[in-house]
Amino acid sequence: MSTPKFVGTETEFGIAVTGPTEVNPVLASSMVVGAYRVPDDIRWDHTEEHPLRDARGYDVPDAHEPPSDDELGLANTVLTNGARFYVDHAHPEYSSPECSNARDLVIWDKAGERILADAARRAEATLPEGSRVLIHKNNTDGKGAAYGTHENYLVPRSVPFGRLTRQLLPFFVTRPIYTGAGRIGSEIDDRVDYQLTQRADFFEVEIGLETTLKRPLMNTRDEPHADPEHYRRLHVINGDANLCEVATFAKVGTMMIVLDLIEDEALDEVPTLARPVEAFHTVSHDLDCSVPLLLEDGRRMTALEIQGFYLEAAKRYLKDRDLDPVTADVLARWEALLTTAEADPRELAGQVDWATKLDLLEGYRQRHGLDWHHDRLKMVDLQYHDVRADKGLYQRLAERGRVERLVAESEIAHAVDHPPEDTRAWFRGECLRRFRGQIVAAGWDSLIFDTGGDALQRVPMMEPGRGTRAHVGRLLDEVTSAEELLAELTGG
């Protein structure tokens, strides 16, 4: 029987400042994050982070001690909704709190969009008149640079990494059918006018530790942010930044099901691709989702057929189980998306980003008689991703009911300030809200308190399913100070 899965996302947002004063991206990002910080701000605890630890069983040597955020002058804060908001690689980055299911992930991922829009407004108020801070939830600047949207899944350490790699690669290569954010042009083929994903062209190898150079389809970073004896964190870097809620829901939900299949050894021999990286590029450039991909055994299958293989395996696996509503919805939507794509992939408009944006671009192009390389069309492409409610084209489509919504705006507004209640994020967020003045640092797996004693006190949070409202809500309601909380937790 598979173990409960937990998921979070990390999104680097595109940023630009226009107006009378030139502002470089690092400073702009620091201004945006800094504008959202509050008094008694809490720093991020890097103590247990090991980005050079490889899942293949070794640590990559690093000759230099990485500079701290303080040394770099980069803003970094922890939010009461359990998320981390900071500057990474000259981009403002929002790392969602841990979620136990795909629907919650949609809510707290959307909360990140609202936080970025609010932070940009605050930062703009500090700049000279006429300045604008533009934030885009996308993955490329259209000039050869890419930035990431990463998914993180906690899986049991007992599942061999080699099995994860072998059985996930065909899934990753073919899921852009419903996860792609779409973009004009290509980094590697001038004949491509439009493609499914923003990220595919930037991937060069199958497996590796890098995230910014020689990007791998399967990232090997082994940094669980949880009990390392029991968990590994699958760090997925090949996905796009999605605005469509159905796309985010399907992206995360299907992965959680496939991970259960792999853990329970419920997958038959997968259709192994002969050249996965090349196939990833091919899938992204194939708007009809019909090009056959070469398998290792000499057969050929389309991306739709490979996704169908995983879907059928999931249906067999879940057939006689009592499914929770979210998993049941994921399975039904997965099948519906593939069925629609088989009939006509462009009919996915309103549910997945690449098709929704393509519909906009085609209409604009035809009305104004533009070719695919016209700058005005590229501006429409970019404006789709603007997080401002009154300017972003996706946001305006959502307001008009032209994209399917899965969650209520009231749920998103609540998630801006409050954490999920059924993961350890609840303890982190609530402690920040109640005892902010006595917490000096926070990380995914611990909080560090300073209650005025001789030493700081670290509270470990190594189990992602503990620290929930059901688990510690009564305790937090009963104590009146951080000292009382620590005494109860330590038996002192």
Which of these is catalytic: 41, 59, 62, 88? 88
Which sign does the torsion angle of CA 395, 400, 403, 405 carry? positive
At 198, which amino acid appears? Q
- What φ, ψ does residue 334 adopt, rounded to 5°? -55, -50
**Token pair listed for 123:** 């930062």
Produce one character per residue of 110-134: b if its CB has 16 or more CB atoms within 10 Å, e if not.
Answer: bbbbbbbbebbeebbeebeeebebb
Residue with tokens 């006689």: 320
88 is annotated as an active-site residue: yes
Which residue numbers are catalytic?
88
